[in-house]
Structure 1
Amino acid sequence: MTMKGCITLSKKLFALDIGTRSVVGIILTENDGIYHVADLVTIEHKDRSMIDGQIHNILSVANVISEIKSNLEDRHGTLRHVSVAAAGRALKTSEGSMTIDISENPLFTSEDINRLELAAVQQAQQLLLTANPTSDDYYYCVGYSVLHYKLDGDEIGSLIDQTGRTASAEVIATFLPRVVVESLLSALKRADLEMEALTLEPIAAINVLIPPSMRRLNVALVDIGAGTSDIAITDNNTVVAYGMVPVAGDEITEALSNHYLLDFPVAELAKRSLATEESIAVTDILGFDQQVPSSEVISIIKPSIDKLASHIAEEIKRLNNTKSPQAVMVVGGGSLTPEITKELSRQLDLPENRVGIRGLDALKDVTLSEGIVSTPALVTPIGIAIAARRSPIHYMSVTVNDKTIRLFELKEMTVGDALLAANIKARQLYGKPGLGMSITLNEKMTTIPGEHGNPAIILLNGNPASTKHQITNGDQITLVPGVDGKDAKLTVRDLIGDFTTIHVSINGKQLTIAPQIEINNMPVQPDTLIKDRDSIRYSYPSKLGDVVEELDAKVSIPFEVFVNNKRTVIEEHAAKFLIDDVQIFADYDLKDGDEISYIAQTLPTVGEIVSSLKIGHQASAQVTFNGTAVTITRNSAQALLNGNPADNATIVNKGDRLTITETVQKPFVFSDVFLFTDYTLPTTASSYKLLRNGEPIGFNDPIYNGDELEIKFSTSKLG
């Protein structure tokens, strides 16, 4: 892990490279744009005072810095001011996303997109805080790039002028922990040094290695150190992403050490010799000497090289929106790992000539003093020293709603950066949306949103501005809150739309047919206001059968009753409807202006229904009574109409409930004849005699078809 910087003295530059194992001090001189490495001092840490790019033991690091400072001051004079650089591995990368509802308020402008991106960056920052919870966490946003825009969940190239239900932005953002800078300041103060300017290692290295004309290209810079490999991505004239993988040169050294039983320092020296020697001589921990061909050693460590290349390639693609860059530059001591560039080109599907090592030859106008060995490991510290001189990062102060905010000029700072630093939440950039309503429409749940809030107004030095406007030291930013949206408010008509009505004539009666509307089972008018959780039902009575019952109880179609609890349609008793003498039926679609006539229904009797449905059977007998032919009949069923006894002549209305039960048939008896005749007893008779076929018979004796029945009386007056 490293943290790097430089100290300026007149035309001299003093660079510090604070690494995991050691601190490197470099003195450069500048004459007419030519940089000369005049001196270099390296001192190792006495304990693990640097972890993951952050100073964990300020006293220990300060002692090493003081020792280097004293050593160089003996030859170059007093050193007071320092320009420092935070290492790329101290940067934190996090992905974030934000989705908003645009169903009622489509994104019409680029500023809407900018604010959506800002909300996604804040979400990434919040995820970073959640993953690394401390009492004093704060992160400076170094930069971000958009991974995807989405409309209704599907990826889309641009959201401008799009309409849909939801819009989303997914970003990858990079942050610098405040504690990294503060711990560096503390260590420098203890070494009696002041920070004059700040730079970031990846930015500084890229500024030196990649000229401005090349920064529009999509290029990855990989600094392979001992413990980590730092990655930076350029595109569109800026650094768009930073990353780090916790594997580097030590992984290769350990593989070599494990296989040949070598002490770690011996394995490190052997690894460095692979690039220049055909064979290497080593002594293992048992004291045995070995002379091993370099090709054999490379084949042994090849799996570890492939693993290192795979980790670096995966991180490059993640940072570069899942695609390979146009080219890859490799620096640092680990860049000398055999075949690392070849394997990287394979992993990234790039030609081998698109992945290359950049040594000191990449730093134009740089010379070395005698005794300083040129290695790729010097590229980064020398580049930092030059970059800190050419383009140092300074503090800047701005005010946000009268609150002073201090920022690092890590890049071209914008209003959005100031809002992030001021902890302005994305939701403050818009007025609150109004409360919505949840209702049921024809048994389907529906949500009615409230009005969207209006966007907040951003003023930069009193003038309207966007979140993308660049800011400078001393700028004043004012955020005027947006107006809150109104709560959802609408009528049934607003919800359903305009209601159509039709006019028809039925037997000369004019009818206006409008939709039937109910709220919570109560009839209402179209202009009734809807409340939260209301249940609304509406329907259009557009069929003939839907409206005829409003006319008269005697015009029902169809005519239906319930016989033994079963719905039964009696077609022959239904009303008949006609248009121009053509019969129409219940499912006829009414049209505006229809003139309809009808013939009213006739109400059936119980006997007619029993006969029509052929329930039971009718018994009969033909007899003569006193010489007159008589037909005797009887149904084999009993009826209840709406629970009450009913005979065959009882009238049945629509919807009545008729219960019919069949009875056991019994023979007719003599007394049944009187039910079918108008016979009356004479008032002068004193006695009578009943005869069947001339033979005496009683009132309750059975009679049969064809019988001749008589009743005879005496002539004396009944007493």
Structure 2
Amino acid sequence: MRKETYTFALDIGTRSVVGLLLSEKDGTYEVIDTVIQEHGERSMLDGQIHDVISVSNVISSVKEKLEEKHGTLREVCVAAAGRALKTIRAEAQIEIEGKPIIQTETVFHLELMAVQEAQKQLAQKEKAMQEYDCVGYSVIHYKLDHQEIGSLVDQQGKVASAEIIATFLPKVVVESLLAALNRANLEMKALTLEPIAAINVLIPSSMRRLNVALVDIGAGTSDIAITNKGTVTAYGMVPMAGDEITEAISDQFLLDFHDAEQAKRELHTSESILVKDILGFENEVLKEEAISLIHSAIDSLANAIKEEIYSLNQESSPKAVMLIGGGSLTPKLPELIAEKLNLPLNRVAIRGIDAIKQLRFAEHLKTGPELVTPIGIAISSNQNPIQYVSVKVNGRSVRLLHMRKLTVSDSLLSSGIQLNKYYGKPGLAFIAALNGQSITIPGTYGEAPLLFKNGKVCSVDEEIINGDEIIIEKGKDGRSLSVAISDLIDVVPAKQVILNGERVQVEANLALNGKPASLTDLIADRDSVTYSFPDQVKEILPDEYSFAPFFLSVDGSRIKVDAFSGKILINHFPAHPSSRFEEWDQITAVKTESPSLSQVLTELKIKAYESLTVLYNQEPLTIKKMMAEVYRDDMLLSLEDKINNGDYLTIKKQPAGSFIFQDVFTAVDVTIPSEGSNKFLLLKNEKETAFHEELLPGDRLSIKWF
């Protein structure tokens, strides 16, 4: 087998560096050789290279040992430590009142704003300005008006929000990794992430529809990855691992750290351990006794792993848990994790290299779960290598870590552009008052930003490749609305009353800033719109209605004549013009009149005239003789003259007397014949009579000419 077919992989961990040579032929993999060397000092911390020179020296040493047997090695596959990943939960929300979400593009924008919020939280949490690559995010849930909902598309409400969990990798992790490899005269052939490396060989794509947690328990940290619905949904890290157990053994049996580490490993293979404490005393301890003495430390590690799994998996247990790494061999750990996650014991298992299909080892090599990750690095770096993609965003060059399908949203995140700042500003709102209650009238919403890829309009989820140019332009600003009173009040409120037997609709009075208004009047900021119902009877009656008492001055005496005074009844009870009324009240309104003199004299019980009915020329004739002469301002009034409220009247009463023939001429016109003499006879009951002859009712009167 030729050496150029080997794949050289390095797993650079907190405690040690594992070098591995892998060959592949016809889909079968063989581990040719491995070298494991521990760091001489704490040059690594939580997956981050803190001393590039020291780490590069260990890498060089591992490389040289492999080269002694297999020849020169120039290219290497490596992984960025999963423990360097940062997972942040964040939420973003937008107002959608009056503007429902009708496009999935708007939902993508909302998710992207949530990821940017996570970036902001991460920067504040880390208290450093180092840059991060977002290596993935998943939506925890959408909310509409603070209530969870399955989809936001076509929903109507006031506020829409999306909560996500996003995972970030510090760019300095990759940069320091490159620096250490360069000092060891190695070129990075391919890059992956440690959790992805392990997942690719243990959980193939066909299994990722299952909700499974992969836990890589190393020396200093326990790295966790979650799969569900066909993808890796979240990454996390617990700052506890095998060293916690080693320290517990050291404290319990007074051992130095190296001896405690050896004792921990023997617990996995022996029924008892022989320990020699720092005082020189030797003691043989049964396995079960030793485990019981360090149970609290194992329980703490199991609990920390359970809590992180819950956090990454939306506060629920996965279907199964796979444990890898040297720390997974900690006694009782699988059982405790299963118990805390409420899973059957057979759903939490340690997975070793035997779980990797079509893999074999050279005969001289020892196998164990600590080799899963370096083997995964070698295999997955060739199958799914991570590369850098360079694009331009608004003219600025941006380099992205290509570890999955890259989209326009990734380029915006890496460029530092805040998407929400590119949304058009909402139109200015203004405030108006309706009957004293403030009403905010919002402007129209600003439009979403416009995105272009290579000069063509695109969406945030559109895929990008190396060399693409992205342009983002600010969306149009909203505008203030033109609002009429009718937008606040659909119709003028009204209520019904019965007025003088007829149903009458009483409308409210509209006012704008205290002045009469109509529904079509436009309103502006700080305007006050009021409407109020007339509540006094006089407000719903015509202006000509008068209810003043009717007074007359007769011969110097002031007299009130109730018959001609105005009056109001509400539900048949006397009321006043200022009396209040309710809907459907029955109102009777009689206005003050201007009666005739005849009506006034009748009401004052003054007899205006005497009358006598006789027959004149065989026709009935009524003769009247005034009994009272009424003067207004020295003017004699007739019985038909109108008398006004407040008139001053003088009445001269005439003595009563009998009617004579002469009185007939006050009621009839006598026509003298044009021919013949002017002589005539006055006849009463067919007998000649005289002008002064007294008449009685029913007398027959006539004039005879000859």
TM-score normalised according to structure 2 size: 0.75
Residues 7 and 76 in structure 2, CA contact (< 8 A), matched pair in contact too: no
Structure 2, unaligned runs of 5 or more: 549-564, 594-706
What is the deviation of 1:500?
5.7
* 1:11 and 1:31 in contact (8 A); partners too: no
Superposed counterparts of 1:273-284, under 5 Å = 273-284=266-277
For residue 14 of structure 1, what is the amino acid of its counterpart?
Answer: F
The whole-number CA distance in structure 2 between the counterparts of 1:546 and 1:221 is: 85
| 1:427-506 superposed matches below 5 A | 427-428=420-421, 430-499=423-492
Letter in 2 for 1:20: T
Give 2:568's aligned residue: 576
1:251: how far off?
1.2
Specify the SS of the correspondent of 1:20.
Answer: coil
Alignment of structure 1 residues 1-400 onto 2, 5 Å? 10-135=4-129, 137-400=130-393
Asked if 1:533 is matched to 2:526, the reply is: yes
Report Cα offsets for 1:658-702 as digits up to 9, x if no partner: xxxxxxxxxxxxxxxxxxxxxxxxxxxxxxxxxxxxxxxxxxxxx
Answer yes or no: is the 8 Å Cα contact 1:115–1:429 preserved in 2. Answer: no
Contact map agreement 1:228 1:246 (CA 8 A) in 2 = yes
Gapped runs of 5+ residues in structure 1?
A: 1-7, 557-572, 603-719
1:147 CA displacement:
1.7
Partners of 1:428 and 1:456 within 8 A in 2: no
Match for 2:589 among 585, 591, 598?
A: 598
Once the two structures are TM-superposed, the CA of residue 27 in structure 1 deviates from its matched residue by 1.8
User: Does the CA-based 8 Å contact 2:495-2:505 persist in structure 1?
Assistant: yes
Structure 1 residues 278-337: Cα deviation after superposition (integer angstroms, max 9, x where no partner): 111111111111111101111111221111111101110110111111111000001111
| Bigger Rg, which one | 2
| CA pair 507-67 structure 1, distance change in 2 beyond 3 A | same
Distance of aligned partners of 1:552 and 1:201 in 2 relative to their CA distance in 1, 3 Å threshold: farther
Which whole-Å deviations, capped at 9, do the CAs of 1:188-213 have from their partners, x for residues lacking one?
22222222322111111101111221
C-alpha separation in 2, matches of 1:92 and 1:48:
22
Looking at structure 2, the residues matched to 523 and 536 of structure 1 have their Cα atoms a distance apart, in angstroms, of: 10
Pairwise CA distance, 1:453: 1.4
1:366-414, Cα deviation, whole Å (9 max, x unpaired): 2223432211111111111111111111112233344433211122222
Distance 1:298 1:190 in 2: 43
Q: In the aligned structure 1, how far is the partner of 2:381 from the partner of 2:88? A: 27
Contact 1:140–1:421 (Cα < 8 Å) also in 2: yes
**Residues 276 and 528 of structure 1, relative CA distance in 2, 3 Å threshold:** same
Deviation readout 1:49-80 (Å, 9 max, x if unpaired): 21122111222222222232233333322222
- TM-superposed deviation, 1:587: 2.7
What amino acid is aligned across from residue 35 of structure 1 in structure 2? Answer: Y
Match of 1:569 in 2: none
Q: Structure 2 vs 1, CA of residues 601 and 218 (structure 1 numbering), >3 Å: closer, same or farther?
A: farther
Residue by residue, what CA displacement relative to the aligned partner does 1:450-508 show, whole Å, maximum 9, x if unpaired?
10112233344555433223333333434343221112431222222233678999689
Q: For residues 615-651 of structure 1, what are the alpha-carbon distances to aligned partners after superposition, in whole Å with 9 as ceiling and x for unaligned?
A: xxxxxxxxxxxxxxxxxxxxxxxxxxxxxxxxxxxxx
Q: Aligned to 1:24, what secondary structure does the other structure show? A: strand
The residue type equivalent to 2:131 in the other structure is: Y
Relative distance call for 1:539 and 1:193 in structure 2 (3 A) is farther
Q: Which amino acid aligns with 2:235?
A: Y
DSSP-derived class of the 1:140 partner:
strand
Q: Distance in 2 between matches of 1:37 and 1:445?
A: 76
1:587 match: 581
Q: CA RMSD in A?
A: 3.0
Amino acid corresponding to residue 132 of structure 2 in structure 1 = Y
The verdict on how the C-alpha distance between 1:510 and 1:472 changes in structure 2, with shifts beyond 3 A counting, is: same
- Provide the rounded CA distance (Å) in 1 between the counterparts of 2:570 and 2:236: 83
Contact 1:106–1:163 (8 Å) recurs in 2: yes
Query: What's the counterpart of residue 709 of structure 1?
Result: none
Alignment of 1:610-629 (within 5 A): none
Counterparts of residues 638-677 of structure 1 (less than 5 Å): none
**1:304 to 1:510, Cα distance in 2 relative to 1, 3 A:** closer
Shift in CA distance, 271/575, structure 1 to aligned 2, threshold 3 Å: farther
- The whole-number CA distance in structure 2 between the counterparts of 1:471 and 1:540 is 66
Letter aligned with residue 76 of structure 1: H
Contact 2:426/2:477 (<8 A) preserved: yes
Question: Following the alignment from structure 2 to structure 1, what is the Cα–Cα distance between the partners of residues 406 and 542?
Answer: 75
Tell me the SS of whatever aligns to 1:10. Answer: helix
Give, in whole Å, the separation in 1 of the partners of 2:566 and 2:464: 85
Counterpart contact for 1:363–1:383, Cα < 8 Å: no
Which residue identity does 2:209 align to in structure 1? Answer: R
Among 506, 510, 520, which residue is 1:517 paired with? 510
Name 1:623's counterpart in structure 2. Answer: none
Which string of whole-angstrom CA distances, capped at 9 and with x for unpartnered residues, describes residues 19-40 of structure 1?
A: 2222222122222332222222
Q: Does the aligned pair in 2 maintain the 1:220–1:234 contact within 8 Å?
A: yes
Determine helix, strand or coil for the equivalent of 1:71. Answer: helix
Shift of 1:522: 4.3
2:400 is the counterpart of 1:407? yes
Partner Cα distance (2:83, 2:309) in 1: 14
TM-aligned CA distance change 1:552 to 1:309, over 3 Å: farther
The range that moved more, 247-256 or 483-492, is 483-492
- Between the aligned partners of 1:295 and 1:94, the Cα distance in structure 2 is 40
CA contact (8 A) 2:496 2:584 kept: no
- The residue identity in structure 1 corresponding to 2:124 is T
Change in 2 beyond 3 A, CA 1:514/1:375: same
Name the SS for the 2:269 alignment partner: coil
- Cα distance in 2 for residues equivalent to 1:317 and 1:509: 75
- Separation (CA, whole Å) in 1 of partners of 2:15 and 2:70: 25
In 2: Cα distance, 1:58 partner to 1:33 partner: 36
What's 2:603 paired with? none
Alignment size in residue pairs: 573
Distance 1:366 1:546 in 2: 103
Amino acid at match of 1:527: T
Distance in 1 (CA, whole Å) between partners of 2:495 and 2:290 is 94
Residues 497 and 583 of structure 2 are in contact (CA less than 8 Å); yes or no, is this contact kept in structure 1? no
The residue aligned with 2:416 is 423
1: CA distance, partners of 2:128 / 2:268:
45
